[in-house]
Amino acid sequence: MATDIQQTPFVKQLAANGKNAPPTSKICLTKSQDRPTRDKAVESLRTYLSGRRDLPPLELLKLWKGLFYCMWMSDRPLTQQALATSLADLVSILPSANTIPFLRAYWQTMQREWTNIDVLRMEKFLLLTRRYLGATFKLLKKGNWEEESIKKHVELLQEGPCNVDDMRIPNGMRFHVIDIYVDELEKVGALEQEDGKDAPLDLLLSPLRILAKDSPTKPVRRKAKEALDDERLPGNEKSEEDDTPKEEDGWGGIQD
């Protein structure tokens, strides 16, 4: 029988200062927590996740509830950046069978909590989301851009933040993922032509294409089209002629 993940020591260590938690939180919180304790908890979590093959969806959602509030209670910018990177690095140590379920639990948690994040805390969750999208693309590159794996991850993005018509997906989360999509592809070299296997950009960009074409919300369609027109994408490069001032036709008036 799988162990309830909330009963493991590292989940109880992951959050800090229960007085600041939102009233909806039922995660077990400690009164205080310093960075060494948190780092030790994350390292314990890495060990736990790397050796588990049976992580049911409900257990992963419980885990992500704890991780969400761990991020919620991290106060200093450097701490937030380090924690976001550490949590995103968990993707790289997961057994392959758990990768999609783990990422699905992340996106489901963010979908559920997004509108409850206050303006003072939003920046760190924008960063965490950027790290998680980046971790997805890193994983696909590590797998040499294997088509079936890309399809599974693309389908997950279309199920979650790039979902076309599920009104439960906050548009704020959609907009952010659209904003960072090309950035994160560029960071892993997916936009470059390399000697090895090139990234299949048509497939990788399909969530944006579907949003641009089929979203019932005009601002979402416009935002996705803007991302697809990014000059960094092959075929969108700005020519030298675009930078050359065009001569005006006809009479231009009296010159001083």
Per residue in 47-100, pLDDT (tens digit) is 989 987 788 999 999 999 989 988 998 888 998 999 999 999 999 999 999 999
Same domain flag for 3 and 114: yes
Which helix (H) or strand (E) segment is 48 a member of? helix 35-50
Residue 136 placed within a domain: no
Task: Please enumerate in sequence order all residues whose Cβ is within 8 A of that of 177, keeping only pairs 6 or more positions apart, or say none.
Answer: 129, 133, 157, 161, 162
State whether residue 51 is helix, strand or coil.
coil
Same domain flag for 8 and 109: yes
Same domain flag for 181 and 90: no
| Separation CA 165–CA 217 (nearest Å) | 9
Residue 91 placed within a domain: yes
- The whole domain housing 106 covers 1-120
Same domain flag for 169 and 228: yes
| Separation CA 76–CA 96 (nearest Å) | 33
| The model's pTM | 0.84
Percent residues over pLDDT 70 in the chain: 78
- Longest C-alpha distance within the chain, in Å? 88
240 pLDDT higher than 70: no
Residue 255 placed within a domain: no
Task: Please enumerate in sequence order all residues whose Cβ is within 8 A of that of 215, keeping only pairs 6 or more positions apart, or say none.
Answer: 164, 165, 221, 224
- The predicted pLDDT at position 12 comes to 59
Q: What length is written for the chain?
A: 256
Task: Supply the Cα-derived Rg of the chain in whole angstroms.
Answer: 22
255 pLDDT higher than 70: no
User: What is the number of structural domains in the chain?
Assistant: 2
Same domain flag for 110 and 153: no
Same domain flag for 186 and 94: no
Residue 106 placed within a domain: yes
| Separation CA 100–CA 118 (nearest Å) | 28
| Separation CA 214–CA 211 (nearest Å) | 5
Give the dihedral of Cα atoms 202, 85, 102, 14; nearest 10 deg.
-160
105 versus 35: the higher-pLDDT residue is 105
**CA 107 and chain centroid, separation:** 8
- The predicted pLDDT at position 70 comes to 87
CB burial class (10 A; 0-12, 13-18, 19+) of residue 190?
buried
Same domain flag for 33 and 115: yes
Residue 105 placed within a domain: yes
The single residue listed with the structure tokens 């060990």 is 47
Residue 3 identity: T
CB burial class (10 A; 0-12, 13-18, 19+) of residue 157?
buried
Same domain flag for 2 and 114: yes
Same domain flag for 150 and 225: yes
